[in-house]
Structure 1
Amino acid sequence: MVVTGLGTVNPIALSVPEYWQALLAGKSGIAPVTLFDPAPYKVRFGGEVKGFNPEPIVDHKSVRKLDRCGQFAMVAAHEAIKDSGIEFDKYDPFRVGVILGTGIGGLSEFEDGYNTLTTRGPSRVSPFTIVKMIANTTAGSISIRYHLRGPNTTVSTACSSAAHAIGDAMTAIASGHADAMITGGTEAAITHMGLAGFIACRALSERNDDPAHASRPFDKERDGFVLSEGSGILVLEEYEQAKARGANIYCEVVGCGNTADAYHITAPHEDGIGAAEAMRQAIRQAGWNTFDVDYINAHGTSTPLGDVAETKAIKKVFGDHAKRLKISSTKSLIGHLLGASGGVEAVACALIMRHGVIHPTINLTNPDPECDLDYVPNTPREARVKRVLSNSFGFGGHNCSLALGAV
């Protein structure tokens, strides 16, 4: 299954070309929260999508029926579909589908609806509240806009949601149920409840005096992840079909590992055993050897426990080859997009393979002795990258690793 189209909106870009330039420049998208007044909160910064306007890509009537989470995905899907050059009217609509991931869904709409209920009464709740709130609305809305009647589901496995969605989309094509799929993830959890909830979990960095340097995966001074928002969408197609129509092929999706830690509801297994097995599964399904892998796009959230556990997992899987691997964390630049992360990071992986340059892990100035691999610190690096793993690990112990290869 090959990737023929890419789309994104995220804290450093409103399009794929802008995203690539920002990644290479080591641009941080982390800044004080402006979507609401964060003064009462212990953490007052995040990775907002700045300057976002869904119109005219999404008409005003449709915008009214979508939470910010859905608006992000509609805009990113538009870019990915346009980039792919795919013409849906030439396909059986029952063989083109949409599988998206989101960890939380329409959280801002839930909050707005509850506030209306408690201040103005039940009769004043909007008829769009449920439609905008439920997680599957976005996948449904994309299918309606483009008349796609194939497999259509929504995956919610916390921070691994988008990666699992991409894996499911790959399987839908490989199993013969679809010829093309729109996939990836979206999230918009920088809300009152989203910020307060993650603060209560003690999961977030508290570097209010220096937001741009708050997301610092694998650095000894890291103190938590940065809550962010956005969307990353890919168009997947069957290879021969894409080749026959002269599609611009970025890479192929050749493997997906899917495991559970069965350990703790928020913390990763300290030895990274679930993450390690997910990587092994992805490598086996791809038909690779461990020494074939050139690069890993790490989950790399900037949490004290998570970065060490992922490093241990990589060492378990790759042995001596771990020291030769090039690894970087996209989250160092854009923060943690929760259920959208795997989509936005898969877009980055496709661009890395296309251009032969690995974006850096920024803010890595004081390496943690327990995180002693090559995380491509602070400066982009030219490299021949042909085989990639993209890791996504979520609350609940969900682990997903995608294997992406050059064509």
Structure 2
Amino acid sequence: MTRRVVITGIGVRAPGGNGTKAFWDLLSNGRTATRNISFFDASQFRSRIAGEVDFDAVAEGFSPREIRRMDRATQFAVACTRDALADSGLDLGSVDPHRVGVSLGSAVASATSLENEYLVMSDAGKSWEVDPAYLSPHMFDYLSPGVMPAEVAWEVGAEGPVTMVSDGCTSGLDSVGYAVQLIREGTVDTVVAGAADTPVSPIVVACFDAIKATTTRNDDPAHASRPFDGTRNGFVLAEGAAMFVLEEYEAAKKRGAHIYAEVGGYATRCNAHHMTGLRKDGREMAEAIRVSLDEARLDGTTIDYINAHGSGTKQNDRHETAAFKRSLGDHAYNVPVSSIKSMVGHSLGAIGSVEIAASLLAIEHNVVPPTANLHTPDPECDLDYVPLTAREQRVDTVLTVGSGFGGFQSAMVLHRPEVASV
């Protein structure tokens, strides 16, 4: 018999407020947290806005040594892990550490610290040959992405599988998907999983400037992220993180844990076609959706809400719309769809986990978060995108999807444990 997997703890760091409560308050009220970049002088860039997190490492309880050792993204992951573990009520001291794993996703890992170290060693780029005398003793921690999940493992005492998942913007979905597989196959009973990315740095901003993927609506940062809107012109870069405690269902039920949702199904596919190009028919995402529904043993008509990737680029939004129609048929026109990137921006590898958190909270509160800034519908995006205002309704089953550079397409089905399969 296949072991069932549930999520019992959530921790979030996102633009607009730290913690799960602040995150949900922002989403449910349709507020936006995108603003002018304040971390550095962005005047030279084409896109000068972002979703920044007001994160104070000292207030979060990190020691000076930890702050020096850990990249900002790692700090996010550890802070979210602490919240998720406290939220779950799970005493890991009573659990065999070999039965506890960690699965962490990130697209650019410690890019912020790597860039800062380069600036120091090269004297802000003035010296062609860098001076190793100024090399940080923690450079390896910044260079190796695997250090990020290792820090989480040290935090929780996990001695089972500890893994880094890095496949672009689907990393935060895929890391949780991998965690589900570990529990289902019986390798572990508990996994701390999620993702963290802090890409609001000059090098990352410059990269997206070069391919013109980000918006130039610098005069109105609060309304710049416009998924599915006819006036959209690119996404808003952001940072963020979300971590979860995943457990085997019977064990969670036995200890009386609060269960946010069961992970019914998960699938990922690649279009093997183009680094950034997407087929108009949405075939790759539709296939991931179909497989995730089959794994959950649910019919597409059971989906109550779709948490879309909704990046705010014309190619992605149209691809997704086609994928929903292809996979759900006529039900695609009846189910509400929304993109929280309209409010918190696109935190690259972290966003898939941040969107899982939003999906879990939609089930918890029976509220569908809105797509902010959607005033001018695109005729090619003709589904119900829940414009501007959150919607109260029963939410038992959520489909959340992700799309990433490299052709990655992932989908996950989350539902209340009592939802019957077909």
> Do structure 1's residue 16 and structure 2's residue 52 form an aligned pair?
no
Tell me how far apart the structure 2 counterparts of residues 115 and 191 of structure 1 sit (CA, whole Å).
12
Q: Which residue of 2 aligns with 1:395?
A: 405
Q: Which residue of 1 aligns with 2:256?
A: 246
Alpha-carbon contact 1:270-1:309 (below 8 Å) kept: yes
Q: Comparing 267-276 with 348-357, which one deviates more in the overlay?
A: 267-276
> Do structure 1's residue 117 and structure 2's residue 121 form an aligned pair?
yes
Q: Which residue of 2 aligns with 1:52?
A: 56
Tell me how far apart the structure 1 counterparts of residues 68 and 310 of structure 2 sit (CA, whole Å).
35
1:50 deviation in Å?
1.8
What is the letter of the counterpart of residue 175 of structure 1? E
1:51 deviation in Å?
4.4
Q: Which residue of 2 aligns with 1:214?
A: 224
Q: Which residue of 1 aligns with 2:29?
A: 25
Mark the CA change 1:220 to 1:339 in structure 2 (over 3 Å): closer, same or farther. Answer: same
Q: Which residue of 2 aligns with 1:77?
A: 81
For structure 1, the residue ranges without an aligned partner over 5 or more in a row are: none
Q: Which residues in structure 2 correspond to 1:5-404 (within 5 Å)?
A: 5-119=9-123, 121-404=131-414
Secondary structure at the aligned position of 1:64 is classed as helix
Mark the CA change 1:201 to 1:118 in structure 2 (over 3 Å): closer, same or farther. Answer: same
1:25 deviation in Å?
1.2
Alpha-carbon contact 1:180-1:237 (below 8 Å) kept: yes
For structure 2, the residue ranges without an aligned partner over 5 or more in a row are: 124-129, 418-422
1:55 deviation in Å?
4.1
What is the letter of the counterpart of residue 198 of structure 1? F
Alpha-carbon contact 2:362-2:368 (below 8 Å) kept: yes
1:54 deviation in Å?
5.0
Tell me how far apart the structure 2 counterparts of residues 134 and 368 of structure 1 sit (CA, whole Å).
42
Tell me how far apart the structure 1 counterparts of residues 84 and 186 of structure 2 sit (CA, whole Å).
23
Alpha-carbon contact 2:60-2:79 (below 8 Å) kept: no
Mark the CA change 1:403 to 1:213 in structure 2 (over 3 Å): closer, same or farther. Answer: same
Taking only the aligned residue pairs, the percentage that are identical comes to 39
Q: Comparing 109-118 with 164-173, which one deviates more in the overlay?
A: 109-118
Tell me how far apart the structure 1 counterparts of residues 296 and 223 of structure 2 sit (CA, whole Å).
36
1:63 deviation in Å?
1.8
What is the letter of the counterpart of residue 2 of structure 1? V
Mark the CA change 1:325 to 1:54 in structure 2 (over 3 Å): closer, same or farther. Answer: farther
What is the letter of the counterpart of residue 359 of structure 1? P
Secondary structure at the aligned position of 1:143 is classed as helix
TM-score, normalised via structure 2 length: 0.95
* Number of residue pairs aligned between Structure 1 and Structure 2: 407
1:61 deviation in Å?
1.7
CA deviation digits over 1:37-81, x for unaligned, max 9? 111111111001024335443332222111111111111111111
1:145 deviation in Å?
1.9
What is the letter of the counterpart of residue 132 of structure 1? Y
TM-score, normalised via structure 1 length: 0.98
Alpha-carbon contact 1:54-1:75 (below 8 Å) kept: no
Secondary structure at the aligned position of 1:21 is classed as helix
CA deviation digits over 1:344-367, x for unaligned, max 9? 110110000011011100100000
Tell me how far apart the structure 2 counterparts of residues 213 and 267 of structure 1 sit (CA, whole Å).
26
1:263 deviation in Å?
1.6
1:397 deviation in Å?
0.3
What is the letter of the counterpart of residue 13 of structure 2? V
